[in-house]
Structure 1
Amino acid sequence: MDRRVRKSQEAIMEALISLMAEKEFEKITINEIAERADVNRGTVYAHYTDKYHLLDLCIETHLDQLIASCMPLEGLNEPAYPTKDSLLRVFTMLEKHTAFYTTLLTSKGVPALRSRLLEMICLGIRQQYTDLQFPAGVDQEVRIQFMASATVGVIEWWFTNPVSYSAEDITGQLWAMLEQNQMLPGKQLV
């Protein structure tokens, strides 16, 4: 992709997020987005059908980065399933983009991020845990939904609560809860 095109798209996405921090998504216009991004209205429409398309692609871009951050690192022989280190990489990426996640998780009219995040986490857990054995007694799909919902709930709380935890601290807290509740493969309480 041409560097100028990429810079324009980034500026447009950043403009949308900064406007969403100030006002409701429904009240934002393409003209305001273009003005904030310092591009003309035609440039916005050259890349996006409308503000809903822009929001969808903005969410998709950030979630793609999040997915990439939790993949096993090459050369480290990490297991295919999530580890505490991979969870820390996710929370570090979330922390790096605090403005984006805080804005979208606190926007009342935009539940899209939460539902897409939940869907993404469920899919990731499902793909990575298919061949692993969990403690007996709970259906695997119920376990996946529980883990994903708990993780999204913690992420939401982390961004909307005034208590400040670092990525390392929140990872440690979530990992300890997953272990205590036998939510990790091969981790059984004795």
Structure 2
Amino acid sequence: MPKTDRRIAKSQSAIKSAVLALMSLKNFDNITIQDIADEANLNRGTIYLHYTDKYDLLDKMIEEHIHELRVLCHVASDMTFQEGNYIWYEYFEKHKLFFSTMLDSKGAPYFRKQFLELVVEEFGVEVNTSTGKNKGLHEDVILQFFAAATVGAVEWWFKNGMPVSARIMAEQTGILLDRNFD
């Protein structure tokens, strides 16, 4: 895999930081490429070298984080929910600006949808409706319920200023998940 030129990486980082800073202030639809360029201290042309438009930029940012969360799910596949959740909450904490912005009302509803779909997909391997506590329940209902709860807990955590540590969030949501999955 070829190494990315440091100037390109620096420009892309400035662009991403700029769009997040702007999204914390106003709705994404009201942000222009010129706003992003001004915030990043770059020319508009530099942004267009890397992204087709602001929607392409946002899509790529979301794709990056969804991909990383998927990788973390695979890393955590042999762990308990508590251990696996901690990996996620550490990642959320490390990328606080992105996640808090995306999950905020001014953020991107598309991100929440992608995040929910990822959680449904990843929980899908854990659901067993043929035996145990969930016997006879509809798999899609279970998946939607726990995915919505998981995403909601993450939203609550960010919207309330992360009032408990990542470790506590991971442990307590892990306990709740462990209680319901065989």
TM-score for both structures, normalised by structure 1:
0.83
* Residue 131 (structure 1) shift: 8.0
Distance of aligned partners of 1:161 and 1:19 in 2 relative to their CA distance in 1, 3 Å threshold: same
TM-score for both structures, normalised by structure 2:
0.86
Tell whether 2:21 aligns with 1:18.
yes
Q: Judge which range, 170-179 or 39-48, deviates more.
A: 170-179
> Following the alignment from structure 1 to structure 2, what is the Cα–Cα distance between the partners of residues 134 and 58?
40
Tell whether 2:126 aligns with 1:129.
yes
Verify the 8 A CA contact 1:88 1:168 in the aligned structure 2. yes
Paired letter, 2:82? K
Partner of 1:152: 151
> Following the alignment from structure 2 to structure 1, what is the Cα–Cα distance between the partners of residues 17 and 61?
9
Structure with greater contact order relative to length (CA < 8 Å, sep ≥ 6): 2
Partner of 1:176: 175
Verify the 8 A CA contact 1:26 1:109 in the aligned structure 2. no
**What stretches of structure 2 of length at least 5 have no aligned partner?**
none
Paired letter, 1:114? R
Deviation per CA, 1:132-184, whole angstroms, max 9, x where unpaired? 9652131222222222111011111111124601111111121222233x2x2
Verify the 8 A CA contact 1:66 1:94 in the aligned structure 2. no
Deviation per CA, 1:58-96, whole angstroms, max 9, x where unpaired? 1111222222233226xxxx62x7632111100110111
Aligned residues between the structures:
177
Partner of 2:98: 100
Verify the 8 A CA contact 1:71 1:86 in the aligned structure 2. no
Paired letter, 1:157? W
Distance of aligned partners of 1:146 and 1:2 in 2 relative to their CA distance in 1, 3 Å threshold: same
Partner of 1:117: 115
Structure 1 consecutive aligned stretches of length 4 or more whose deviation exceeds 4 Å: 130-134
Paired letter, 1:38? N
Distance of aligned partners of 1:82 and 1:41 in 2 relative to their CA distance in 1, 3 Å threshold: farther
Aligned pairs (5 A) from 1:42-53: 42-53=45-56
> Following the alignment from structure 2 to structure 1, what is the Cα–Cα distance between the partners of residues 96 and 110?
17
**What stretches of structure 1 of length at least 5 have no aligned partner?**
186-190
Paired letter, 1:140? E
Distance of aligned partners of 1:131 and 1:32 in 2 relative to their CA distance in 1, 3 Å threshold: same
> Following the alignment from structure 1 to structure 2, what is the Cα–Cα distance between the partners of residues 163 and 9?
28
Partner of 1:188: none
> Following the alignment from structure 1 to structure 2, what is the Cα–Cα distance between the partners of residues 165 and 29?
36
> Following the alignment from structure 2 to structure 1, what is the Cα–Cα distance between the partners of residues 131 and 22?
45
> Following the alignment from structure 1 to structure 2, what is the Cα–Cα distance between the partners of residues 134 and 171?
26
Identity %: 39
Partner of 2:32: 29
